A and B are shown apart, each in its own frame.
Chain A
Amino acid sequence: MRALTIAIVTAVLALPAFADEASIALKKAPGLDKVQANCGTCHSLDYIQMNSPFMSAATWDAEVTKMIKAYGAPISDADAAAIKEYLKANYGG
């Protein structure tokens, strides 16, 4: 129920669902599904491209940790690890 509610809210608040998030094309690589399922709950994924390719591995790690610790993103440890690896491998500096 909780997940369903979040999904509904995300759809509602995709304020720029009227702008076209479908045009965002992240690199197809292992972990992309975890990025879409987790990060995409709260923000569009163009934030990732926007912050590339200058971010070091340590900076990407810190960013994902900040999303969980400071912003309360409900991401499992396994998914967080997969997301970090995806970002470092595909959008690192």
Chain B
Amino acid sequence: MITRRRLVEHAGAVLAGFGAVRFAQAAVPGLSDALPSGTRSEATLEALPGKKPLIKLAYRPPNYETPIEYFRAPITPNDAFFVRYHLAGIPDANDKTIDPKSWRVEVGGEGANGQATLSLDDLKAMPSAEVVAVNQCSGNRRGLFQPHVPGVEWGFGAMGCARWKGVRLKDVLDKVGLKKEAIEIVLNGADGPVTDKTPDFVKSIPVWKATDEATLIAYEMNGAPLPHLNGAPARVIVPGWTGTYWMKHIVSIKPVTKPDTNFWMAAAYRIPVGKFPLVARFISQETAANTPITEMVVNSLITSHPDGASVKAGTVTVGGIAWDGGYGIRTVEISTDGGRSWKEATLGQDLGRFAFRAFSLAIPAQRGKLSVTARATNAIGQTQTAALIANPAGYHHNVMHTVTLNVG
């Protein structure tokens, strides 16, 4: 959405705002050996403004993942929530396009009957809605693919779960009225490319998902305004679906009657047809060969202990979190014999079907190496894969997570 002229207009303010800030760099403890060696050597632990130190994979556009220890609780703190941008044209927090006082979202287009321009106060005057939902990058765990595939080489932390508050997207769409031929809602944010020839990051979602009760425009995250680099002042929340659709800094919501054809829909974020056991379809964007990524696959992560941790012999309680595309977690099982036998873990508080679900289990630990594997199953019987499901862009990694404990 951002244009070069607008950026240059705001150049002075941006430079003045950022000039003096410096942050310490530190090596990252406990990075997975499965990541590319180049990733392991360049990743650092660094704090962006307003953030705790996160795992820096790339400075510009910023791609920083959340260290695994923050996933010991089912809600991810705002200052530890991961940061992911495709393009480096990111307006400063004080830029008029995203300043809460001057920010506006335009709603309308050829698939709508009318047009509306809404301010943050306008949204806050509407009935509010809340959802606890996982925002996970489509490529989370890409760095663990074997063989490796190009892209941002994420470990486990390109995800987070927050309580989002805002308005239902369908209530906003009701203000303009959808034509009956409308099939997609095109979403654009205030951020954008650095050069005019780079396709702006624009995504669409099908009308059925846009008008779902749980799909929001959020202006609060865990009871606070959205952090700058998590989409301030308002972003789209698409519970169950991967983060690519959760447009940050939302400034344009455009109903359309024909499938959107921009690069980020037609070429990017696609998965091969038939490889993943998914229910949610995006029919207007499907081709014979591939389909847009939609809902998240069922997954879990052991967070109580880092891989290689030392524990005392006796009983050790292992735990972590599980999540899926919005059907809800039914069970999490633990195996200590490489998957030959499984024991059901105890599930923690249910924060809703789109949220992280905590799990824990006390297991006997004898001296030596103890391999602990977690496997989640959701309410419609989907479970995790034992063998990686290869795909060119490195999406939907849900291979069962294993940590090895050193029992002494």
A→B interface (CB under 8 Å): 5-6, 8-21, 23-24, 41-44, 46-55, 59, 63, 70-74, 91
Contacts and interface: CB of A to CB of B under 8 A. Distances in A.
B150 A63 contact: yes
Nearest to A16: B59
Contacts of A49: 38-39, 41-42
Which interface residue of B38, B56, B60 has the most chain A CB atoms within 10 A?
A: B60
Nearest to B152: A50
Interface residues of B, number: 49
B197 interface: yes
Contact of B195 (A19, A21, A24, A41): A41
Which interface residue of B22, B23, B36, B147 has the most chain A CB atoms within 10 A?
A: B36
Chain B contact residues: helix, strand, loop or mixed: loop
A45 B88 CA distance: 13
Interface of B: 4, 7-8, 10-11, 14-15, 18, 21-23, 25, 36-39, 41-44, 46, 48-49, 56-62, 87-90, 147-148, 150-153, 193-199, 263, 267
A51 B49 CA distance: 26
Chain A contact residues: helix, strand, loop or mixed: helix
A66 to B, nearest CB: 9
Contacts of B57: 46, 50
B197 A72 contact: yes
B195 A73 contact: yes
Contacts of B22: 18, 20
Contact of A18 (B44, B49, B193, B196): B49
Given A42-B88, A49-B38, A51-B153, 14 more contacts: A9-B8, A9-B11, A9-B89, A12-B15, A13-B194, A17-B18, A17-B60, A18-B22, A24-B42, A43-B58, A43-B88, A50-B152, A52-B38, A55-B148
Contacts of A9: 4, 7-8, 11, 89, 194
A54 to B, nearest CB: 4
B233 to A, nearest CB: 17
Given A12-B7, A13-B60, A91-B38, A18 B194 contact: no
Contacts of A52: 36-38
B56 to A, nearest CB: 7
26 contacts: A8-B8, A12-B10, A12-B14, A13-B7, A13-B88, A13-B90, A15-B61, A18-B21, A18-B22, A19-B46, A20-B22, A20-B23, A42-B88, A42-B195, A43-B61, A46-B57, A49-B42, A50-B57, A50-B153, A51-B150, A63-B150, A71-B193, A71-B197, A72-B195, A72-B197, A73-B198
A8 B11 contact: yes
Contacts of A20: 22-23, 25, 59
A20 B199 CA distance: 27
Nearest to B4: A9
B38 A50 contact: yes
A15 B62 contact: yes
A15 B11 contact: no
A28 B44 CA distance: 21
A6 B8 contact: no
A74 B193 CA distance: 13
B25 to A, nearest CB: 6
B36 A13 contact: no
Nearest to A18: B21
Contact of B23 (A19, A53, A54): A19
